Amino acid sequence: MLTIEMILMTVAAAVVLSVLGIAFGLLLLGIDRRVSARMQARIGPPLSQPYIDLKKLLSKENIIPENAVASIFNAAPIIALASSLIVLLYLPIGSMMPVLGGYGDLILVMYLLAVPALAMVAGGFASGSPYATIGAQREMVSMIAYELPLASIVIAVAWLLYSSGITDPFALSSVVANPVWTMVGPLGMVGLFVLLLTFAWVSPAELSKIPFDTPEAETELAGGILVEYSGKNLGLFTVAQGVKTLVMGGLAVAIFFPWNISPLLGLTSYAAMAVDAIFFFLKVIILMILSVTVIRTGLARFRITHVVTLFWVYLGLAGLFGLSLVILDSVLMGGF
């Protein structure tokens, strides 16, 4: 039974986590730009550059195109940011359990991850720009493409927990409490490694980063889906991008690397929570550098047809192959 005190605590925790998520999400964008610059033998901008850009954008006026659908155009960035923050509330942060949680977290997270992209699509179509329209079409195609390998990862993890007799296999709290690497044999290890590599390629696509930035494609579409956005609206999209970057990294940590460092240090209570939270953010930084920064710095933009082929054929088959290995390993070990 929910009490007023529990509701107030949940709201307060959600507000604090949202503020921290925005701050750290922007920091991730700064780290990404800085590391990418170093890889290209450039100095690059300071880590605070995303904060500087956001401050400048929030101080500028929103310009709405004359032929735009103003209500949808202005609502899109708000929906994108809100949905990204809601996903963050379902993620465990170190040894802290999610602010929100239930029986189907993984399924809900999959749906919520699509909302920011759908908001951008709606905003692109509502802007009335031909460039934004093409970008919105590309975004829709990309979403359909990368959902197959992402779904394979979620199903594999849930299957593994269910076959091991874990209650609520789709709950992220169950996933974190039962590291998947400890529940499989050699065959399952190979399958999980394939799924990990698949997730590493899905992450830049979810974030519309090179080589999967075809919806924006500055050199082709002058910014594409966001070409008509400016001022506060563009600032909100920037914040949503940062939060979603944190969410993708946090999801990878929760599924593949959920271990905490406080047991090794013999810490308990609030000290353990603080150290585990710092360790969590360090894991997110490392994973995002490897799966986003390195890939986008080393590759050029793919054509939209190449994006579809990569996800539906190669990564789709890789995801199904990894899922099959996990299931086969579970059957051989007598878990189902």
pLDDT at 52: 92
DSSP structure string for 114-178 = HHHHHHHHHHHHHTT-HHHHHHHHHHHHHHHHHHHHHHHHHHHHHHHHHHTT-SSTT-HHHHHHS
CA-closest candidate to residue 192, choices 251, 245, 257 = 257
Average pLDDT for the chain? 86
pLDDT at 220: 62
Token duo for residue 159 = 């299957």
Give 243-279 pLDDT, tens digit per residue.
999 999 999 999 999 898 888 888 778 888 889 899 9
Question: pTM of this prediction?
Answer: 0.90
pLDDT at 221: 61
Map out the domains of the chain as residue ranges: 13-335
Q: What distance in Å separates the CA atoms of residue 140 and residue 157, rounded to the nearest whole number? A: 26
pLDDT below 50 — which residues of the chain?
Answer: none
pLDDT at 222: 64
Q: What distance in Å separates the CA atoms of residue 103 and residue 109, rounded to the nearest whole number? A: 12
pLDDT at 22: 92
Q: Which DSSP helix (H) or strand (E) runs through 331? A: helix 316-332
Q: What b/e sequence results for 3-19 when a residue is b if at least 16 CB atoms lie within 10 Å of its CB, and e otherwise?
A: eeeeeeeeeeebeebbe
pLDDT at 283: 94
pLDDT at 192: 93
Token duo for residue 217 = 């494609």
